[in-house]
Amino acid sequence: MLIRFNKPYGVLSQFTPEGRWRGLKDHIDLPGVYVAGRLDADSEGLLLLTDDGPMQARIADPRFKMEKTYLVQVEGMVTQAALNQLSRGVTLNDGPTLPAFAIAVDPPADLWPRNPPIRERKNSPTSWLELVIREGRNRQVRRMSAAVGLPTLRLIRTAVGPYNLDGLPTSTWQQV
């Protein structure tokens, strides 16, 4: 069994809550399913869960290099120079990243509101980019965008390999 879940902001990639963050048990009441790849509590979007160990490994293990696609709202305006850097790979404190697919995109028209909303500064514009990576380091997308001078304000994973969020409202799940 494979489940796709549109994880809202503030929910951990685990069933038990911790500190100020809620757990998956508030949204998914299915025994025997486990998360296949993590998504930080302050990130939103596609989280896959399965009861199949080998499938979990294929999805989560970096050796399989399954693409992960993100919509990223950043502080500042996305430039071609920043996109070029991301496309070549950037150096983080734990070493260089693999090259990423990076493009500037329009703000998504059908995006659900985030609770709480992102912080907005009157004197600082925001813009969006789509980033596709094949790694899964801790907070990698946030660190990559910061490395090119574009701090992340909102991060939404829209796809993992062939699985995506299409037609799945926030806080809901569906068996694939």
Enumerate the active-site residues.
40
The conformation of residue 92, written as its DSSP 8-state character, comes to E
User: What is the chain's length?
Assistant: 176
Sign of dihedral through CA atoms 6, 174, 14, 17?
positive
Percent composition of the chain: helix, strand, coil (DSSP 3-state, to 5): 20, 35, 50
Distance CA 13, CA 41 (A): 7
SS3 category, 24: helix
Torsion angle of the four alpha carbons 46, 113, 102, 92, in this order, in degrees rounded to the nearest 10: -80
Interior angle at CA 122, CA 45 and CA 129, nearest 5 = 35
- Answer for the pair 158, 46: CB distance below 8 angstroms, yes or no: yes
